[in-house]
């Protein structure tokens, strides 16, 4: 997810992929946690504060309607449709814990620009 800002046109699918590791470097899979990581999407028009537009997120294949990542062979994945994001500006996608009492994610973000 750290490839840097991507310029996007309408109806593109962004394949978001990430790996989670515990404190000693072991890969965390869907067998290790109960609550899968989820995405959060913030929109920044360049004027004022960024706003949360996560409710507009649509999965395409990998990912769920509840905005949860799915675990594949060795990565967590969420394919995000950009069709609901049409306003000109920068969108920041963050992978966050599905349950912060179970685990935390320090930093895992991606950006796209329309």
Give the residues across from 60 on adjacent strands. 62
The domain tally of the chain equals 1
77: domain CATH number?
A: 2.60.40
Distance of alpha carbon 92 from the chain centroid: 9
72, part of any domain: yes
State mean pLDDT over 24-32: 96
87, part of any domain: yes
User: What pTM value is reported for the model?
Assistant: 0.89
pLDDT in the model for residue 1: 57
48: Cβ–Cβ under 8 A, 6 or more apart, which residues? none
State mean pLDDT over 92-100: 96
CA–CA separation, 27 and 59 (whole Å)? 24
1, part of any domain: no
Give the domain extent around 96.
6-113
Confidence of residue 8 (pLDDT cuts 50, 70, 90): confident
60: Cβ–Cβ under 8 A, 6 or more apart, which residues? 13, 79, 80, 81
pLDDT tens for 36-95 read: 999 999 999 999 999 999 999 988 877 777 899 999 989 999 999 999 999 999 999 999
pLDDT in the model for residue 6: 81
């Amino acid at each position: 997810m750290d490839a840097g800002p991507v310029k996007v046109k309408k109806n593109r699918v962004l394949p978001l992929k990430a790996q989670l590791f515990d404190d000693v470097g072991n890969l965390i899979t869907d067998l290790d946690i109960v609550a899968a990581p989820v995405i959060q999407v913030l929109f920044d028009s360049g004027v004022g504060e960024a706003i949360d537009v996560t409710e507009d997120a649509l999965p395409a294949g990998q990912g769920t309607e509840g905005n949860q990542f799915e675990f594949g062979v060795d990565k967590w994945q969420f394919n995000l449709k950009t069709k609901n994001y049409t306003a000109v500006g920068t969108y920041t996608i963050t992978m966050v814990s599905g349950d912060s009492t179970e685990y935390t994610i320090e930093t895992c973000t991606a950006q796209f620009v329309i």
